[in-house]
């Protein structure tokens, strides 16, 4: 039978274990943060290594980088003192650096030579020169010949897509895709005149919540007696460690039994 004395004992024990786990985890976390701040460089590596360039059947150049490159701990991102993309991006969108999860900057060049213009007359019967294709609409209006300071003006509109795709691909073993999975990022424009010069990429590792609380309904099965033991469970999480207290009904003795369990994740997938 569940009594207030048992509940009080259980809650006190759970609180003591939770505080011990929290203190250990917090101390470890602060030590790691101090170590990162002492060793962090003044400049974070931002340039992503381009591992391949290829042209598809449509004549579009694809640039590929590794998705797993340039991954930094959150503590390093916060401690870094630089004028790089972390700082400028955070300032531009009005957030703190610690709020950034992924950042990708693509530097590209659009170049076209010998664009053939056509001449037409505007509403005032003045000549206007224009060029138009699937992506670009360019117009040049000559200046007023009576105004020596007026050399004319350009108007243009450009519409194109820059497609960025993250995908996985298996390494080949003996020519067959049987190896481990690697993640890549493919970048291309639907305008074949666009050339990707370089890519800057940063991924900030997201930390697991330091503390967590779960209230669960559970059922265990005893293979020896062939009985089910239903009940309720409270689980406290502190980093990789967890503490569980449960009350399970034992149908053989017709009693509710308290259980206490401690866990630590040695390997996490």
Cα–Cα separations (whole angstroms), residue 158 to 9, 52, 106, 135, 138: 71, 28, 18, 6, 8
Could you tell me the end-to-end alpha-carbon distance of the chain, in angstroms, rounded to an integer?
40
Element (H, E) at 119: strand 118-121
Q: Determine how many CB atoms are found less than 10 A away from the CB of residue 128.
A: 18
Note the pLDDT of residue 208. Answer: 67
- Ramachandran region of residue 216, left (φ > 0), alpha (ψ -120 to 50) or beta? beta
Residue-by-residue pLDDT tens, the chain, 269 positions: 555 556 555 666 666 666 666 666 655 555 555 554 444 444 566 788 888 999 999 999 999 998 887 777 766 666 554 557 778 888 888 988 878 888 889 999 999 999 999 998 888 888 899 999 999 999 999 988 888 888 899 999 999 999 999 999 888 888 787 778 889 999 999 999 999 999 988 888 777 667 788 889 988 888 888 889 898 998 888 877 888 888 889 888 888 888 888 888 887 66
Note the pLDDT of residue 39. Answer: 43
Note the pLDDT of residue 40. Answer: 45
């Amino acid at each position: 039978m569940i009594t207030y004395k048992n509940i009080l004992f259980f809650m006190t024990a759970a609180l003591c274990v939770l505080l011990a786990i929290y203190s250990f985890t917090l101390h470890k976390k602060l030590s790691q943060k101090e170590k990162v701040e002492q060793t962090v460089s003044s400049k974070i590596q931002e340039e992503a290594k381009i591992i391949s360039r290829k042209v598809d059947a449509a004549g579009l150049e694809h640039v590929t980088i590794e998705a797993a490159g340039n991954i930094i701990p959150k503590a390093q991102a916060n401690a870094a003192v630089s004028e790089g993309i972390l700082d400028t991006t955070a300032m531009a969108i009005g957030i703190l650096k610690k709020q950034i999860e992924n950042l990708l900057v693509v530097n590209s060049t659009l170049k076209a030579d010998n664009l053939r213009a056509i001449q037409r007359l505007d509403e005032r019967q003045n000549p206007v020169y224009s060029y138009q294709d699937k992506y670009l609409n360019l117009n040049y209006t000559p200046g007023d010949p009576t105004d020596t300071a007026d050399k004319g003006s350009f108007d243009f509109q450009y519409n194109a897509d820059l497609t960025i795709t993250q995908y996985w691909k298996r390494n080949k073993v003996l020519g067959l895709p049987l190896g481990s999975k690697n993640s890549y990022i493919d970048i291309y424009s639907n305008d074949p005149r666009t050339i990707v010069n370089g890519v800057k990429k940063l991924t900030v590792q997201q930390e697991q919540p330091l503390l967590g609380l779960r209230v669960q309904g559970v059922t265990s099965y005893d293979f020896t007696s062939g009985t089910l033991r239903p009940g309720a469970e409270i689980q406290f999480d502190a980093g990789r460690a967890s503490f569980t207290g449960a009350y399970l009904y034992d149908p053989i003795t017709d009693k509710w039994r308290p259980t206490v369990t401690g866990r630590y994740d040695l390997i996490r997938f």
